[in-house]
Amino acid sequence: MKYYKMSIDYLVALVIFIVWEFYTFSALAQQPTIEQTITGFFNTVFNIEVTKIVEKPGIKYYAIGLPYKYVVVNNKYTSYISVDCLTIYHYSNSNWMTLEADSVRGKTHADRISEDEAFTSIVPLLAHFSCPTEKSSFEAVFRDTAVESNREDLFGACWTFRREILHNGIPCRTRYFSISVSAASGNIIMFDNCTKILPLNTNNSQVSFTAAQQIAFAWLMAEPYFANKSPTIDTSNTQGQIVIAPKRNWVTDTDLLSEALTTYYSWEVLYTYIEDGQIIPTRIWINVETGEVVGL
């Protein structure tokens, strides 16, 4: 019989491999399924019994800029869930107006629940996502979403509470938490949890705000879309603001997102342009390190 002497390095590598496999298996075993996450969420937050979950094929990106799975619950609720099944990004009840049609008949905006009452109804959802539960942390808007009814009736009316997401105190543009509540019943009809996307650059500004304004103006003047639209940089703010902005251009990016968004620390340069006789205020983002146009 022959005996082979194993090297210390081989033994160490073998132990590391076994430990790695163990933790990988444990992590996979602990990762929740779509059924577990959806069922727990609907039961806890909405007190809804989940009887059917249908997952649409493929991984989506277009709605929130992050990869997600599209599922339909009980044939009437829509939800977006992260690929690892840990985070709910979206919920909506497309039938809410039909369900409330009889109860709101004859009622007007004057019969709506108050802003405070509407906010109270969303506190459990905010707590679920570890969001602030003070109304002052949100922008509140009352709106009527029905397009084929009397604009003063309560059909389709809702309260929406929105909060922009921050990263170390810096605004993350296009990233937000938003909840809409029926102004008749106080039921949550939709929410979006557009979580932050960490920037790929650093907040080490190599480009001054003045230089960013000049870069922005040159880009706007060279962009065919703004030809004859008199783009004008707002020079009233000389300090500028650094934000975390997505690499997305609404002028040239006409396709739906097919991959995750990237973001960058950027100078936010305000400008206006004229279209159909209207002065339109908007913004363009300039990379603080390179001076490249990130998006608008």
Domain end (from 41, 61, 94): 94
Query: β-strand 77-82 against 241-246: which pairing, if any?
Result: unpaired
- What percentage of the chain carries pLDDT values higher than 70? 88
Residue 174's pLDDT is what?
A: 95
Mean pLDDT of the chain: 89
Domain end (from 65, 94, 123): 94
- Within a domain: 126: yes
- Within a domain: 107: yes
Closest CA to 60 of 248, 260, 263, 195: 260
Q: Are residues 90 and 101 in the same domain?
A: no
- Within a domain: 17: no
- Within a domain: 166: yes
Q: Are residues 192 and 275 in the same domain?
A: no
Residue 173's pLDDT is what?
A: 97
Position 19 pLDDT exceeds 70 = no
- pLDDT classification of 23: cutoffs 50, 70, 90: very low
Q: For residues 38 and 80, give the distance between their C-alpha atoms in angstroms, rounded to a whole number.
A: 10
Position 54 pLDDT exceeds 80 = yes
Q: Are residues 102 and 192 in the same domain?
A: yes
- pLDDT classification of 250: cutoffs 50, 70, 90: confident
| Helix residue spans in 110-208 (DSSP H) | 115-128
Q: Are residues 86 and 115 in the same domain?
A: no
Cβ neighbors of 19 (< 8 A, separation 6 or more) are: none
Domain count, the chain: 3
Domain end (from 130, 162, 196): 196
- Within a domain: 161: yes
Residue 231's pLDDT is what?
A: 96
Q: Are residues 100 and 180 in the same domain?
A: yes
Position 22 pLDDT exceeds 50 = no
Q: Are residues 142 and 180 in the same domain?
A: yes
Q: Are residues 216 and 289 in the same domain?
A: yes
Position 24 pLDDT exceeds 50 = no
Is residue 138 within 8 A of residue 128, CB to CB? The reply is no
Q: Are residues 248 and 157 in the same domain?
A: no
Domain that holds residue 188: 96-196
Q: Which of 25-39, 42-56, 241-255 is predicted with the least confidence, judged by mean pLDDT?
A: 25-39
Q: Are residues 170 and 262 in the same domain?
A: no
Closest CA to 283 of 202, 174, 137: 174
Residue 249's pLDDT is what?
A: 86
pLDDT tens, residue by residue, 69-121:
999 999 999 999 999 999 999 999 988 998 898 888 889 999 999 999 999 99
Residue 146's pLDDT is what?
A: 75
Determine which helix (DSSP H) or strand (DSSP E) holds 276, and give its type and residue range: none
- Within a domain: 281: yes
- Within a domain: 3: no
Q: Are residues 101 and 184 in the same domain?
A: yes
Residue 232's pLDDT is what?
A: 97
Determine which helix (DSSP H) or strand (DSSP E) holds 39, and give its type and residue range: helix 34-41
- Within a domain: 7: no
Position 5 pLDDT exceeds 60 = no
* Cα angle 174, 178, 179; round to 5: 165
Determine which helix (DSSP H) or strand (DSSP E) holds 14, and give its type and residue range: helix 8-30
Determine which helix (DSSP H) or strand (DSSP E) holds 227, and give its type and residue range: none
Q: Are residues 60 and 134 in the same domain?
A: no
Position 159 pLDDT exceeds 90 = yes
Residue 20's pLDDT is what?
A: 46
Average pLDDT over every residue of 159-187: 97
DSSP structure class, residue 213: H
Q: Are residues 171 and 213 in the same domain?
A: no
